[in-house]
Amino acid sequence: MKLSREEVNDIALESRLLLTEKELDGAVKYINNFLDILDSFKELDLTNVEPFSFAEALECPLREDKVNAFTNTQGIFNESEHVDGSYFKVPRIMED
Amino acid sequence: MELYELDLYEASKGIKDKKFSPKELFESCKKRIDSCEDKIHAFITRTDGTAPVTENPNGIFAGVPTVLKDNLCTNGIRTTAASKILGNWKPPYDATAWKYLREAGAVLMGKVNMDEFAMGNTCGNSAFGPTHNPNDISRVPGGSSGGSAAAVSAGYVPFSLGSDTGGSIRQPASYCGVYGMKPTYGMVSRYGLISYGSSLDQIGPFARTIRDLQLVMSVLAQYDPMDSSCFREKNPDFTHNEDASIKGKRIALVKEFQNFTLDAPIAEAMKKTQKVLENNGAVITEVSLPVVSKYAVACYYALAMSEAHTNLERYDGVRYGYTVNDAAGIKEMFERVRSYGFGSEVKSRIIAGTCLTEPSRCDEYYVAATKVRTLIAQEFIRAFGECDFILQPVTPSLPHKIGEEDEDAMKGYETDLYTLPVNLAGLPGLSFFTGYDDATKLPVGLQLIGPRWSDSEILNAGMILERHLGSPKIANGGVK
């Protein structure tokens, strides 16, 4: 097993996820199985292989560098319970 | 014949010829939905309270109704991605794909079910419960775009939109007995599609005829400056051409896939389809894809999970969706919102993606996967130097019963081997109907894939296959 329960739980916390004991059991099994499968990459010689990009990268479409205003700002604010004027207000960031 | 039974071309023509009104068509579809929906459960949100007026009565769709997978943003209409975390979110803008359909005269019947954030292949991993296959309601419709496929199969609407990150259009199309097209990556704007794996995601249509797929693709395949991966000047021609031919086309089977076991109805469909192709002048050949067949599944999930972990960081409860109001600090707020809002499959994939992209493991896993992806794309380029299309299954088996999912998640993922390499290489893929299995009466689909930007040629080949294999019927939808 590559990752212990504690390590998987630490990764979950990094992702801002609190797992139940059952979820943690499932995640430990899931990730360790997955990492075992990814070990198959070691069978390939990837030394001189470039990371993937679409073959047409050279003709990557560009658009004019022009700002187009998004007008439905009220539509955005209507969806949040944390609006203060024209800002989003969040709970305190610094912890005790 | 009821109006809901018409395909898109017939429905649009009927309206334009004034044989019936858009409202009459809309009401017929609505009645069909009312009679089947408690058995199928395709919808997350219905918007068919009253018949909307089409924006463009002279457009291609002329008032024909459609449904959208619930990861396509609709201005002012709830969009959930089948997740609790989006709550009752009403986007402040339309996805470009939906905007194009609207402007061409389509009207919306509602938003349909999917696996949460498109992560799954059964349409059972939804916060809104599972959708059922209209051909046999005890079985899964496939996923993740299961609601979009089921709605077309059951005759709710003549066409719909879904999205395909690793097979999410092609597999449910096959399971439900309809046609489904995953376009070339870059052909259709992804603006307003809720992201899962951004380098893999692509929007595409479902329909009951190839001609209808051609109609929808002719509207969807337009350049959009709002999506930087959307190409201009490709000008694909999706005009329906009855005289299109596959004479002399080289259609390959994948050598390595011949060693894998297929259920009998799918193996028989492969043989039957090869005969049809040969009888129409195509040459059946073979290509070798050793890296694809051995490493594509691992490569795909490594990249999809890594991209998903980044894309899903934005769900924090501040600007939209499910939230809490009594958190002592921002960390507590994020943890409570995300822990409650995401389902367990999504959480597992986020954690896996975080793990693979951590600095200590990134080179070993994520960067290695991007290099394996290069090998896979190169392998396809070589293969398409030797053939025009590749014929292969969509899945090795017919849809299973609801609740019979494989407990070993990785084993379940391996059934995606036939679909997900297409996304890794950004290729177009058509899932087409070949007939019904005698024993189970379930539809059997196969897949034709081609080089990048060969979408219209694939659909022409699909039209010839439809002519000889037959078009699917509307499924009974659980109604005797």
A10 contact B CB<8A: no
What is the CATH classification number for the domain harbouring B197?
3.90.1300.10
Q: Choosing among B313, B371, B408, which should be mutated to test the A contact, i.e. which has the most A CBs within 10 A?
A: B371
- Closest by Cα among B158, B166, B202 to B304: B166
Tell me how far apart the alpha carbons of residues B9 and A5 are, in angstroms, rounded to a whole number: 56
- Residues B414-426: tens digit of each pLDDT: 688 999 999 999 9
Across B50-172, the runs of DSSP E, i.e. the strands, are: 65-69, 107-112, 159-163
Chain B contact for A65, CB < 8 A?
no
- Residue B405 has what pLDDT? 73
For chain B, the C-alpha Rg in angstroms (whole number) is: 21
Q: Is the Cβ–Cβ distance between B447 and B432 less than 8 Å?
A: yes
Low-confidence ranges of chain A (pLDDT < 50): 58
pLDDT at res. B276: 98
- B144, B145, B189, B456: which one is catalytic? B144
Residues 6+ positions from B265 with CB-CB distance below 8 Å:
B398, B437, B439, B440, B442, B444
Q: Do B351 and A59 touch (CB under 8 A)?
A: no
Sheet-wide strand order for B389-393: B43-46, B107-112, B65-69, B159-163, B203-207, B179-182, B429-436, B443-449, B389-393, B250-254, B283-287
Question: Tell me: the pLDDT tens digits for B216-261?
Answer: 999 999 999 899 888 877 779 999 999 999 999 999 999 999 989 9
User: What secondary structure does DSSP assign to B160-195, as a single string?
Assistant: EEEE-SSSTTHHHHHHHTSEEEEPPTTTS--TTBPP
Yes or no, beta carbons of B368 and A14 under 8 Å apart: no
Structure-token pair, residue A73 = 């700002």
Please tell me the distance from the alpha carbon of residue B224 to that of residue B211, in angstroms, as a whole number: 24
Q: Helix B210-220 crosses helix B455-469 at what angle (to 10 degrees)? A: 160
- What is the tens place of the pLDDT at every residue in B106-151? 999 999 999 999 999 999 999 999 999 999 999 999 999 999 999 9
CATH architecture of the domain covering A1-45: Orthogonal Bundle (1.10)
ipTM of this complex prediction, to 2 decimal places: 0.93
Judge whether B168 lies within some domain. yes
Would you state the pLDDT for residue B355? Answer: 96
Domain locations in chain A?
Answer: 1-45
Domain count, chain B: 1
State the amino acid at position B193 in one-letter form.
L
B399-419 burial, b for 16+ CB within 10 Å, e for fewer? bbebeebeeebbeebebbbbb
Paired strand residues for B315:
none
CA distance B40 to B477: 7
A88: chain B residues, CB-CB within 8 Å:
318-319
Domain extent, residue B273, equals 3-252+262-288+378-469
pLDDT single digits (tens) B148-178:
999 999 999 999 999 999 999 999 999 999 9
Please give, rounded to a whole number of angstroms, the shortest distance from the CA of B249 to a CA of chain A. 24
d(CA B133, CA B121): 13
Cα B147 to Cα A88, B124, B141, B205, B272: the distances in Å are 35, 10, 8, 12, 29
Whole-number pLDDT of residue A54: 72
Q: What is the pTM of this model?
A: 0.97
Nearest CA to B315 out of B194, B413, B162 is that of B194
Q: How far B293 CA sits from the closest chain A CA (Å)?
A: 13
Query: Quick check: bond before B245 cis, omega within 30?
Result: no
Structure confidence at residue B65 (pLDDT): 98
What is the torsional sign of CA B394, B395, B397, B402? negative
Q: Are B353 and B196 in contact (CB under 8 A)?
A: no
- Ordered per-residue pLDDT tens for chain B, 480 residues: 999 999 999 999 999 999 999 999 999 999 999 999 999 999 999 999 888 999 999 999 999 999 999 999 999 999 999 999 998 999 999 999 999 999 999 999 999 999 999 999 999 999 999 999 999 999 999 999 999 999 999 999 999 999 999 999 999 999 999 999 999 999 999 999 999 999 999 999 999 999 999 999 999 999 998 998 888 777 799 999 999 999 999 999 999 999 899 999 999 999 999 999 999 999 999 999 999 999 999 999 999 999 999 999 999 999 999 999 999 999 999 999 999 999 999 999 999 999 999 999 999 999 999 999 999 999 999 999 999 999 999 999 999 999 887 666 565 666 889 999 999 999 999 999 999 999 999 999 999 999 999 999 999 999 999 999 999 999 998 886
A1 CA: distance to closest CA in chain B (Å): 14
| 3 state DSSP class of B469 | helix
Distance CA B446, CA B285 (A): 17
